[in-house]
Chain A
Amino acid sequence: MAHDESDRLLSLLSEGRDEFIARWVSTVTSTLAGRITPAEVQQDLTDLYGALIVALRDGGLATRNEAYGEVRSLLTELSRSRARQGFSPTETAFGVFALKEVLEPALSRSEDIAAYLQFARVLDDLGLYTVETHAKTREEIISAQAEQLLELSTPVVKLWDGIVGVPLVGTLDSARTQVVMEKLLQSLLDQNATHAIVDITGVPSVDTQVAQHLLKTVVAARMMGAECTISGIRPQIAQTIVALGIEFGDITTKATLADALRHALRRIEQREAAAGIGGLA
Chain B
Amino acid sequence: MTDRVPILKIGDVLLVSIQIDLEDQMVMDLQEDLSQRIVDTGAHGVVIDISALEIVDSFVGRMLATIAAISRVLGAETVVVGMRPAVAMTLVELGLSLGGVRTALNLEQGIGELRRSRDEGPVRR
| Pair A226/B105 contact, Cβ less than 8 Å | yes
Interface residues of B in 77-111 (CB under 8 A from A): 79-81, 83, 85, 88-89, 91-93, 97-98, 103-106, 109-110
Q: Which of A178, A220, A271, A277 is within 8 Å of B88, CB to CB? A: A220
CA separation between A164 and B116, bound complex, in Å?
23
Q: Which of A192, A216, A223 is within 8 Å of B106, CB to CB? A: A192
CA separation between A263 and B105, bound complex, in Å?
20
Chain A's interface size range is 20 to 34
Does B118 belong to the interface (CB within 8 Å)?
yes
Does A166 belong to the interface (CB within 8 Å)?
no
| Pair B105/A223 contact, Cβ less than 8 Å | no
Total number of residue pairs linking A and B with CB closer than 8 Å: 72
List B contacts of A193 (CB < 8 A): 105
Q: List 22 A-B contacts (CB under 8 A).
A: A185-B85, A185-B88, A189-B105, A192-B109, A193-B105, A220-B88, A220-B89, A220-B91, A223-B91, A223-B92, A223-B97, A223-B103, A224-B103, A225-B79, A225-B80, A225-B81, A225-B83, A226-B105, A271-B116, A275-B116, A277-B119, A281-B119
Which residues of B come within 8 Å of A, CB atoms?
Answer: 79-81, 83, 85, 88-89, 91-93, 97-98, 103-106, 109-110, 112, 115-116, 118-120
Q: Which of A222, A224, A271, A277 is within 8 Å of B85, CB to CB? A: A224
Nearest opposing residue in chain A for B102, CB measure: A225
Distance in Å from the Cβ of B45 to the closest Cβ of chain A?
Answer: 11
| Pair B85/A182 contact, Cβ less than 8 Å | yes
| Pair A278/B119 contact, Cβ less than 8 Å | yes
List B contacts of A175 (CB < 8 A): none
| Pair A194/B109 contact, Cβ less than 8 Å | yes
Interface residues of A in 185-231 (CB under 8 A from B): 185-186, 188-189, 192-194, 216, 219-226
